[in-house]
């Protein structure tokens, strides 16, 4: 016999399948197609496990994995706003807040509140867990663009200053990776993938 709680959980799981259809500007490294937001979240979860030794003091990697798995669910309703597109980001916070209410509201109340709290913490980026999660969220497209010949940076004419501003959470939360970030950015500038 199916309980109301189980029905709500199954409805939520069916609904979040739609994240697979939300396309990002970042392509796969082989540039065969744009990645979707579900693939991006999966990549971040693995990055949290692989880069755990670089996490800020006090970060709980298991909690970070849960956080990055839910951080983009709101894009099901709100869409993915390209980070470097100012017009696409107008009203983004409100669109995402409404999406969070709807999506996390599909779950049983306690579970919905728990996942929404993780999403809100990610958005605030004010804890070691969230700082690590946000830094990984910035690192993943950097890696993909770097290994994919410039990817979305080249297609959109992104500048070095724009990339470095976007990567600032890495410098703060993962300082041991910052020299590598600068190396990748400068190499892409030399190759013409990022504008000076």
**Structural domains present in the chain:** 4-190 (1.10.3210.10)
Average pLDDT over residues 11-33: 97
Where residue 1 falls among pLDDT bands split at 50, 70, 90? Answer: low
List the one residue out of 110, 113, 102 whose CA is nearest residue 5.
Answer: 110
Which neighbouring-strand residues pair with 36? 23
- The per-residue pLDDT for 3 is 86
Q: Running DSSP on this structure, what letter comes out for residue 176?
A: G
Average pLDDT over residues 102-121: 98
- The per-residue pLDDT for 149 is 95
Per 3-state DSSP, the chain is made up of helix, strand and coil in percentages (nearest 5) of 70, 5, 25
- The per-residue pLDDT for 20 is 98
Average pLDDT of the chain?
97
Q: Does pLDDT of 144 surpass 90? A: yes
Which neighbouring-strand residues pair with 27? 34
The three-state secondary structure class of 64 is helix
Judge contact between 184 and 170, C-beta under 8 A. no
* Separation of alpha carbons 99 and 149, rounded Å: 34
Percentage, residues of the chain above pLDDT 70? 99
91-123 core/surface letters (b: 16 or more CB in 10 A; e: else): eeeebbeebbeebbebbbeeebeebbebbebbb
């Amino acid at each position: 016999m199916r309980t109301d709680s189980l029905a709500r959980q199954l409805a939520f799981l069916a609904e979040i399948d739609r994240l697979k259809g939300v396309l990002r500007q970042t392509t796969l490294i082989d540039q065969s197609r744009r990645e979707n937001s579900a693939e991006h979240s999966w990549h971040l979860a693995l990055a949290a496990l692989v880069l755990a030794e670089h996490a800020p003091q006090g970060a709980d990697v298991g909690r970070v994995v849960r956080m990055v798995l839910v951080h983009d669910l709101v894009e099901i309703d709100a869409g993915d706003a390209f980070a470097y597109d100012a017009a696409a980001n107008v009203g983004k916070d409100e669109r995402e807040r409404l999406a969070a209410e709807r999506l996390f509201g599909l779950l049983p109340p306690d579970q919905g509140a728990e996942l929404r709290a993780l999403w809100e913490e990610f958005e605030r980026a004010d804890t070691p867990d969230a700082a690590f999660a946000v830094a990984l969220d910035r690192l993943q497209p950097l890696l993909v663009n770097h290994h994919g010949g410039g990817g979305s940076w080249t297609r959109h004419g992104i500048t070095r200053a724009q990339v470095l501003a976007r990567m600032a959470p890495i410098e703060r939360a993962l300082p041991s990776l910052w020299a590598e970030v600068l190396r990748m950015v400068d190499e892409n500038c030399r190759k013409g993938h990022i504008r000076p």
